[in-house]
Amino acid sequence: MTKNSMARLHPLRDYIRQNVADLRSSPCLLISSAPPPPGGTSAQQDDPRVRAFVERNEQHLALEFNLRAVTCRVSSAFPTSTSLDEAVSLAKRAGLKGAGGEGRGGGPPGQGVIVGMGSGAAMDLAKAVADAMFGNISTREGGDGNDDDDGTDPAAGSASLVLAPCTIGGVWAASSNSSISLLDTKEEMLLPYLPPPWRNNLAPARRNGTVVTMDPYMYLAMPPLYTPFLPVKRSEYTRAPTMAHVAAAALAIMLDLARTLDAVANAGRENNAVDIHNHVAKEIKDVTSLFTSVLELATCVAKNVGGDDGADYAKLAQRHLLDAIPRLSSVVERSSFLANVPLTTAGTLPQKLANSLLPTYFPQCHLITFLASTLPGLCDLLSESLPVDGNGSMVGVVATSITEHGDAIDAVRMSSLSSWASRVTMEAGLPSMASLAYGTPDVNTLVGKLDSYEALMASFSGGVTHGRVRDDQWLMEDVLRRSLLR
């Protein structure tokens, strides 16, 4: 993905039409989202817009373009190792061939195209199958992490993975170049899927041979900007995330990326503070401003500031999100390069909390909503260590961009990151983690799950615990406790 606005991307049918001759000569595996089964525990909603998007594109691929495609559907919130194995087996039976050495390189290139369309789970499963079969991964051992090359080759027939998201979770997943997390049904955690191209590379890596397409706004299953949060039992919370949830989740990730970059700069490893600021500070500030705007627009709708139903605010927020989400992926990639940590230790605190706790204790909660619930606790933690003026701190850059941001009606500026988080959580309809945790075990049991997650992650590194992992372990516990007390 480039950092350019996703609004400029063309629909899937346009891409297929432009490359139809080459695509007809290749076997194709079509991975699409499907409605969850009746009585299932998935937080994915049975949205008729998603069904219409998938059915319309499946018909076009089969009838209009006559591609040699077989279909694989995913209805769960997350792909599992079993669903990955089944999809890979189906792909091979359909004639797709993996790269020489099953993605390890040194052999003939793979043959075939994988098309993922619909929800985030479909995007993730499509990427995992492509990683397993084609291994289109390159390392980033040189450069400054500041290039605009998205690792794709738009030439006809060159793509081995084509993604067509139609939900906000799908857009988020499609724009990410990181490795995939699969639901481990035994451990009840989200654990990274690391085939050889990912596992064997300590340098930051990226996925090549990928094309992302997107239909016009009116065909996307975009969520509302704001809905009031009504506390319910944990087992009954099945709402899909709003745009406000997405913005809050992204800001939690941005703040923790900033924390990591500050730690790297202070330790004097790889790059100094000046280098880091030169590479990512402006982009971080701009992207933070876009996500903050979405939250402030949600508060306007909640207060009925704009009158009517807030449709204009929702359209503006949608444009902000579709601009900011791909740029968030770019910031994550550049930050990973600057931090230069092993892949098996990568990930922000909100993501690690979700990976370890979400499947077991928050099974009905959408991943994005859970990430959003970590924002107040993280802001509370970072506010205590933030310099008064924020100078020389990447966290200060993000905090200043948030707290000095004015919305469309020139709201009063907030003087504290923590007080801003408390205010916006209440006004924008964001659930607190405490409200989502109704019926969960005591906090010590939850902390034990965090310890188990970190032990499993350390096992991926041969039992070696990276210094950052040790630091993150107690910070995860701190954020968790603060979040549950709010």
- Based on the domain organization, do 481 and 392 belong to the same domain? yes
Outline where 386-466 has alpha helix (H). Answer: 394-403, 417-427, 433-436, 443-460
Which residues in 16-142 belong to E strands, given as ranges? 28-33, 69-74, 113-118, 137-139
Q: Count CA atoms closer than 13 A to 445's CA, side-chain side.
A: 7
- Based on the domain organization, do 212 and 299 belong to the same domain? no
Q: What's the pTM? A: 0.88
- Based on the domain organization, do 303 and 443 belong to the same domain? yes
- Based on the domain organization, do 93 and 158 belong to the same domain? yes
For residue 29, is it within any domain? yes
Q: How far is CA 267 from CA 113, 264, 339, 393, 467, in A?
A: 44, 5, 11, 13, 11
Which domain-ending residue is among 176, 194, 219? 219
For residue 227, is it within any domain? no
Which residues in 16-91 belong to E strands, given as ranges? 28-33, 69-74
For residue 247, is it within any domain? yes
Tens place of pLDDT per residue across the chain (486 aa): 443 444 457 899 999 999 999 899 899 999 999 887 665 544 445 788 999 999 999 998 888 899 989 999 999 889 999 999 999 999 999 999 987 644 444 455 678 999 999 999 999 999 999 999 988 776 654 444 444 444 344 433 457 899 999 999 999 999 988 888 999 999 999 998 888 766 655 555 677 889 999 988 778 888 999 998 876 655 555 578 999 999 999 999 999 988 888 887 776 654 444 555 666 888 899 999 999 999 999 999 998 865 556 788 999 999 999 999 999 988 887 777 676 655 555 688 999 999 999 999 998 889 999 999 999 999 999 988 765 544 568 888 888 888 876 443 333 334 588 889 999 999 999 999 998 888 889 999 999 999 999 888 877 766 555 555 566 788 999 999 999 987
Which domain-ending residue is among 184, 219, 254? 219
pLDDT at 19: 92
- Based on the domain organization, do 287 and 348 belong to the same domain? yes
- Based on the domain organization, do 67 and 146 belong to the same domain? yes
pLDDT at 407: 41
pLDDT at 211: 93
Q: Which domain holds residue 309?
A: 234-485
Residues 6+ apart with CB under 8 A from 89: none
For residue 255, is it within any domain? yes
- Based on the domain organization, do 154 and 253 belong to the same domain? no
In this structure, the strands spanning 205-207 and 137-139 are antiparallel
For residue 184, is it within any domain? yes
For residue 162, is it within any domain? yes
Which domain-ending residue is among 219, 249, 270? 219
Residues 6+ apart with CB under 8 A from 27: 68, 69, 70, 91, 94, 95, 96, 111, 112, 113
pLDDT at 141: 46
For residue 50, is it within any domain? yes
- Based on the domain organization, do 171 and 315 belong to the same domain? no
- Based on the domain organization, do 213 and 260 belong to the same domain? no
pLDDT at 194: 81
pLDDT at 450: 93
For residue 160, is it within any domain? yes
Q: Which two tokens stand for residue 240?
A: 């899909």
pLDDT at 54: 93
- Based on the domain organization, do 364 and 297 belong to the same domain? yes
- Based on the domain organization, do 205 and 245 belong to the same domain? no
- Based on the domain organization, do 209 and 327 belong to the same domain? no
Looking at residue 351, which CATH number applies to its domain?
Answer: 1.20.1090
Helices 349-361, 443-460: inter-axial angle, 10-degree rounding: 120
The model's pLDDT over 23-68, given as tens digits with 9 standing for 90+, comes to: 998 999 999 998 876 655 444 457 889 999 999 999 988 888 999 8
Looking at residue 39, which CATH number applies to its domain?
Answer: 3.40.50.1970
pLDDT at 1: 44
Whether the Cβ atoms of residue 7 and residue 322 lie closer than 8 Å to each other:
yes
Tally of domains within the chain:
2
